[in-house]
Structure 1
Amino acid sequence: MTTPTMTHPQFDRLIEAARRVGPVRAAVAHPCDRFSIEAALDAAEMGLIIPVLIGPRARIVHAAEEAGLDIGKLVLIDTPHSHASAARAVELVREGKAEALMKGSLHTDELMGAVVDSVTGLRTARRLSHCFVMEVPGRDEPLIITDAAVNINPTLADKVDIVQNAIDLAHVLQFPEVRVAILAAVETVSAKMPSTIDAAALCKMADRGQITGAILDGPLAMDNAIDPEAAAIKGLHSPVAGRANVLIAPDLEAGNMLAKSLSFMAGAGAAGIVLGARVPLILASRADSVDTRLASCAVAVLVAHRKLTGERLLGA
């Protein structure tokens, strides 16, 4: 296994909080390469998850042996191929035998297809959406960015669930105050820019109690969402402008580029999770550092325990 570097102190806090509440059983779908097996073993070694490996037994055993990884103590459920792995992982959750779902070496679309199946999947009344919990150098609290991986071109109705999922996650992570910026290229409403109209509608919906648990403002451009001086120069006066800790991107492309720019140009850590299903989904990437992978698992553990107990899990 890989030794984590732990270069992100805010992630350390998440990992320790998850370790305190104890591991959850995670169905690991199709872990047929070194990366996915190692990710599951690292999280297990840290006391975050109890992995159940689901996939072609011969391929998993061969990949583990080639990488020198010991999976002898893990439960391994044999399936013939990746589609069957995804379906069986979802079934394990439906049977109450797993509290989280973790992507292995199959394509994300295969896993999500099994998750959103209208008959056998894990859908709830809430739309699924992806959140990055980011530790950005120079910030004293995490930053949530959504949606950067699931909803390509969300409608206003989709954005209501995307925003609410992010707010709920912020409460699980015990943000003292949840300040949501609905991002656009400008901070004024323009009929020529649909994202600004959506932003204004979302803020009004929050005023009317259709979105709860946070303060919303938008449209806000990126600079005046996170920089107090930029917000002051533009004459923006709100509890959110310049102080946002949740950023709602107008579409997947914008969210993905924003998150990856912070990761690869500013050295930010990005723990990813999919919300809105019966259980949290961990979508690890090959490019993730070890501590980022562990932080993703930690966030999933905290979300899973909140679903099971309703308790606040992070220390003051």
Structure 2
Amino acid sequence: MTVLPSALHKPITKLTSLTYDELAIGQCASVSRILTQTDINLFATMSGNVDPLHFREGAGNAVFHQPVGYGMWAGALFSGLLGTRLPGPGTIYHKQNLKFLAPIPLGAHVTASVTVAAKKVTPKGRHLVELDCTLVDQTGKLLVEGSATVIPPLQHLDQDAQSLPDLQFIAHDQLEILTAKCADLDPLPTAVIYPCDRTSLEGACDGARLGLIKPVLVGPQDRIIALARENGLDISAFRLIDARHEKDAAAKGVALAKAGDVGAVMKGSLHTDELMAAVVRRDGGLRTYRRISHVFVVSVPTYPKPLLITDGVVNIFPNADDKAHIIQNAIGLANVLGVETPKVGILSAIETVNPKIISTVDAAILCKMAERGQIKGAILDGPLAFDNAISKEAALTKGIKSQVAGDPDILLAPDLASANMLVKQLSFLSHADAAGIVLGAAVPVILTSRADSLSARLASCALAVLLSNN
């Protein structure tokens, strides 16, 4: 997950326009920048040039063996200098010649400069100024050189600079990191329950293609084969187990997991409650000594790390004891994801204990349980309202001193409805992506939605793979 700030470098606040007469040979202006993936992404979006050599995914097959910047990114730096520094606002481009001498590697610290080289008046009375243009890296190596000919501003003018528009470039690389962690792990045999629509069957195929899962398709065999043929999906390598309907498919898929034939169960196009009814059955289900709960792993563009939100699927109105188990499950998942001591924010409507609001009382109990070792391996704080849980500034404004506020790894919601709404609000209003996994069962249970993106579906599979290897 990556959020790109609206101002990618220190903004200019004051601008000065220099006229033809005010310009002198040798005058120079320069700007220094570090070429980041942000610059590359934004330039690709603007230009439509998605040549793989500019991105990590394709750089290994490119001539440079690492991502490189666009040559015309340097041209954009020169344009910025001409329009804001020398000659300044009102400058009109007449001609630009550039020679690209060496690639601009990702991470290069470059300095772009323009220098007044010549002034002339054309026979028609047009005033032109020629400027030398150079781009050098941090070692002084010349990467780009050339010249620009411009018509300078007609009058001297001092003015305030326009503020830059707010921009966010949304990339869910946090979820992609999960799939990357599975690169050296064997595919996980997975019962895909009732994959009877394109999204669920395609998700199984995508997971297999990336080597995350080895699907066993459980459902009406003829219908699945017809669906695959209709959508051009190759399922010839997958084992098929015939089932008459959703309930039958859920029972047979869970039985495969109980017998050890598969290491995970994945939801297809049946309803979540139909699958979970088979999972939680006391006779023939996948219960263990642990409480079963669900965790969303959410990639939020405005948050710097994955955010685990629980429980938005399984436990409807958990009491304090239930919540202790739900937190412990989430802590275990955070550990698997590499967070040694996760920070847990226990959410409510307010940040103080009010006996009339049960979730605030539960939060106080849970924090005391953690102090006494009844919840292990994490730092807990609560009750916290969402604003001061997620924002250190909001917490400080309210006088809250907390190791968790502004930096949680896990958010425990008061109940299923609030957790579910929180994740969907983040998804549909904040462009978040969310993977989902059920914990506490004998095997991981992958819960995907028809509205999930491809990266979210694959990340859910990756969570199951990582859990099964720990």
Same fold (TM over 0.5): yes
Alignment of 1:179-218 (within 5 A): 179-218=343-382
Paired residue type of 2:232: G
1:7/1:291 contact within 8 Å kept? no
2:204 pairs, out of 40, 47, 62, with 40
1:130/1:272 contact within 8 Å kept? yes
TM-score, with structure 1 as normaliser: 0.93
Alignment partner of 2:218: what SS?
A: strand
Q: Does 1:154 align with 2:325?
A: no
Alignment of 1:226-245 (within 5 A): 226-245=390-409
What CA deviation, in whole Å up to 9, does each residue of 1:38-76 have, x standing for no partner? Answer: 000001001100000011111111211221211111100
Q: Does 1:290 align with 2:422?
A: no
Separation of aligned partners in 2, 1:158 and 1:67: 43
Identity %: 56
1:75 pairs, out of 224, 233, 239, with 239
Alignment partner of 1:19: what SS?
A: coil
Paired residue type of 2:203: A
> What is the CA distance between 1:155 and its match in structure 2?
1.5
Separation of aligned partners in 1, 2:315 and 2:354: 23
State the partner residue of 1:313: none
State the partner residue of 1:268: 432
Separation of aligned partners in 2, 1:195 and 1:131: 19
Alignment partner of 1:54: what SS?
A: strand
Alignment partner of 2:303: what SS?
A: coil
1:84 pairs, out of 248, 270, 293, with 248
Paired residue type of 1:246: I
Separation of aligned partners in 2, 1:81 and 1:266: 37
2:346/2:380 contact within 8 Å kept? yes
1:33/1:64 contact within 8 Å kept? no
> What is the CA distance between 1:139 and its match in structure 2?
2.2
From the CA coordinates, give the structure whose radius of gyration is larger: 2
Separation of aligned partners in 1, 2:194 and 2:406: 43
Structure 1 runs of 4+ aligned residues shifted over 2 Å read none
What CA deviation, in whole Å up to 9, does each residue of 1:157-203 have, x standing for no partner? Answer: 21111111111110010114300010000010001100000000011
Separation of aligned partners in 1, 2:373 and 2:326: 16
Paired residue type of 2:241: I
Separation of aligned partners in 1, 2:325 and 2:288: 11
Paired residue type of 1:34: R
Q: Does 1:172 align with 2:339?
A: no
Separation of aligned partners in 2, 1:144 and 1:200: 20
1:29/1:86 contact within 8 Å kept? yes
State the partner residue of 1:118: 282
2:171/2:301 contact within 8 Å kept? no
Separation of aligned partners in 1, 2:306 and 2:384: 19
* Bigger RCO (CA 8 Å, 6+ sep): 1
Separation of aligned partners in 2, 1:245 and 1:259: 15
Structure 2 residues without counterparts, runs of 5 or longer: 1-169
> What is the CA distance between 1:231 and its match in structure 2?
0.9
Separation of aligned partners in 2, 1:177 and 1:99: 27
Structure 1 residues without counterparts, runs of 5 or longer: 1-5, 307-316
2:301 pairs, out of 137, 140, 151, with 137
What CA deviation, in whole Å up to 9, does each residue of 1:55-101 have, x standing for no partner? Answer: 11111112112212111111001122221111111111111111111
State the partner residue of 2:175: 11
1:148/1:252 contact within 8 Å kept? yes
TM-score, with structure 2 as normaliser: 0.63
Q: Figure out how many residues of one structure are paired with residues of the other and give that number.
A: 301
Larger strand percent: 2
> What is the CA distance between 1:20 and its match in structure 2?
2.1
Separation of aligned partners in 1, 2:312 and 2:410: 13
1:23/1:301 contact within 8 Å kept? yes
Separation of aligned partners in 2, 1:81 and 1:138: 42
> What is the CA distance between 1:138 and its match in structure 2?
2.9
What CA deviation, in whole Å up to 9, does each residue of 1:241-274 have, x standing for no partner? Answer: 2221210000111111111111111111101111
Separation of aligned partners in 1, 2:391 and 2:340: 19
1:299 pairs, out of 463, 466, 469, with 463
State the partner residue of 2:259: 95
CA-based RMSD: 1.2
State the partner residue of 2:46: none
Separation of aligned partners in 1, 2:172 and 2:246: 34
